[in-house]
Amino acid sequence: MTWLVKGVLCIVCLTLTACATLTDLSGRFDKSKAFERSVKAYNRMLRWHEIESAGMTYIEPEQLKDYLKRAETLKKRGLSVTDFRILTAVYLPETKTGDAVTEFDYFILPSNRVKTVTYRQEWVYMESLKSWKLKSGLPDFE
């Protein structure tokens, strides 16, 4: 095979992967898959210093003002998240809620000492918004 054929095959595979949806075999929206993706995306955003965007996208509307205020304080303090791990993520279909436990490695300038915090997240599926929203605020980065 030439490099051109390999390249075209790679592009086709990537395109098909990008078109994957959050529906099950019957064509219904799969809340479980959406929950897992929301947990991963939110925590990834915190890791890559997109704390305000994470809030605007995933925080429950009633909590957003307090979340953004706290995010601004952490940003001013020089918070830098270096890594995260999702320890558990459990979807509870009967209540349309989910719980996740993550760990964040971080430091706050001027210190270069890396600390770890465990962060329990309470998620709820909001039918009106057709999306998962986080009810719990930011962890205590000390």
Q: Judge whether 124 and 132 are in contact, CB under 8 Å.
A: yes
2: DSSP letter? -
- The helix or strand, by DSSP H or E, that contains position 136, with its residue range, turns out to be none
Distance CA 23, CA 41 (A): 18
CATH of the structural domain 30-134, one choice from 1.20.58.480, 3.40.50.170, 2.60.40.2470, 3.10.450.50: 3.10.450.50
Q: Where are the domains of the chain?
A: 30-134
Instruction: Quote the pTM value.
Output: 0.79
pLDDT in tens, 6-28: 544 545 444 444 444 444 454 45
Q: Give the model's pLDDT for residue 58.
A: 98
